[in-house]
Amino acid sequence: MEKTEKIWMDGKLVNWNEAKVHVLAHALNYGTGVFEGIRVYETDKGKAIFRAKEHVRRLIDGCKVMCFDLPYTADEILKAMSDVIKANKKVDYIKPCVFLAGEEVGLNPIGVPVSFSITSVYLGSYLGKDAQEKGASLATSSWLRPWNMGAPAGAKVNGVYVTSTLAKREAKMKGADEAVMLNAQGNVAECSGENIFIFKRGKLYTPTAASSILEGITRNSIIEVARDLGYEVIETDISRVEMLTADEVFMTGTAAEVSVVTKIDDRLIGDGKPGSVAKQLGAKFREIVTGKDPKYDRWLYRI
């Protein structure tokens, strides 16, 4: 990740090093925040945010789940995101975050002031060049994906992702690129920050929205694109054995985009090489986000 110059914070652009909160900020101590990660792409018509309106809607929905009083409309948030992209030289990723910034000791969030920041960075390849070209390796985590009765798993709530960081650390310590997490029922949920797909017997499968996953915007995009290309896509429970014996496995996410998986728990997926379906979908996704397929131009929010 490369830093940028300006951060949008509570309606103003401030210098990177001036965007600060107190050590007793409620969000810092208790994880009370909602965030998004959104990719910015270069197209022949300039920069564009991928599915900006859908990301803003999910941010607003997350604030509703957390009972945050968000003092900005969707249009104002879109403008703020555009402003922070324009204010910085090298941007391919933005991270809006609404959080309880008030100084408070104790769990009670009622009455704690809300703050809103939008940070832009240059992220590049999230999983690294080797994983991108050769395929990523996964390790099944001992940490389960937080389930819907124990956490707001369907919202991007800051505190929920503590488990994801533990899973990611565990995977890296095992020498893998990423972690795959099971849910409370023992089925495949998602990776630490990506949704997961398998291709088996000519069909694509992905866990349902009720499987304690985040209903990813890139996930939903790939489902639509795959169906447009003639693939049958089934949202269903996926067992660990079904995942390990799939013909292909790939991940989707804002940061990871479409990332092929070639090894899970030291077992090769298929022949251990990037599969044709994942490569086709990845290539089509790249065309879409860079503005080369007008059919999906509605997904690009031009700056």
What was the pLDDT predicted at 57? 98
**Is residue 286's pLDDT more than 90?**
yes
Percent of the chain residues topping a pLDDT of 70: 100
Range 127-140 average pLDDT = 89
**Is residue 152's pLDDT more than 90?**
yes
User: Do 67 and 206 sit in the same domain of this protein?
Assistant: no
Range 247-261 average pLDDT = 97
pLDDT digits (tens, 9 = 90+) for 67-108: 999 999 999 999 999 999 999 999 999 999 999 999 999 999
Answer positive or negative: Cα dihedral of 98, 101, 107, 110: negative
Instruction: Examine the fold and report which residue of 98, 121, 144 is the final residue of a domain before the chain moves on.
Output: 121
**Is residue 129's pLDDT more than 90?**
no
Instruction: Examine the fold and report which residue of 121, 150, 185 is the final residue of a domain before the chain moves on.
Output: 121
User: What is the spatial distance between Cα 23 and Cα 75, in angstroms, rounded to a whole number?
Assistant: 31
User: Is residue 82 a part of any domain in this protein?
Assistant: yes
User: What is the spatial distance between Cα 211 and Cα 197, in angstroms, rounded to a whole number?
Assistant: 13
Catalytic residue among 6, 95, 156, 284: 156
User: Is residue 90 a part of any domain in this protein?
Assistant: yes
**Is residue 128's pLDDT more than 90?**
no
User: Is residue 53 a part of any domain in this protein?
Assistant: yes
Q: Identify the H or E element spanning 42.
A: strand 38-43
Map residue 80 onto helix, strand or coil: helix
CA atoms within 13 Å, Cβ hemisphere of 80: 24
DSSP label at residue 71 = -
Q: Report the chain's C-alpha Rg in angstroms.
A: 19
User: Do 91 and 212 sit in the same domain of this protein?
Assistant: no
What was the pLDDT predicted at 158? 98
Distant-in-sequence, close-in-space partners of 75: CB < 8 Å, separation ≥ 6: none
pLDDT digits (tens, 9 = 90+) for 206-226: 999 999 999 999 999 999 999
- Number of compact structural domains in the chain: 2
**93, 123 Cβ separation under 8 angstroms:** yes
Distances (CA, A) of 253 to 37, 126, 214, 269: 9, 10, 10, 20
Q: Which CATH number is 41's domain given?
A: 3.30.470.10
User: Do 177 and 201 sit in the same domain of this protein?
Assistant: yes
Quote the domain boundaries for residue 88: 6-121
Task: Indicate the pTM of the whole model.
Answer: 0.96
User: Do 228 and 209 sit in the same domain of this protein?
Assistant: yes
What's the whole-number average pLDDT of the chain? 97
Active site residue 156: yes
User: Is residue 215 a part of any domain in this protein?
Assistant: yes
User: Is residue 106 a part of any domain in this protein?
Assistant: yes
What was the pLDDT predicted at 130? 81
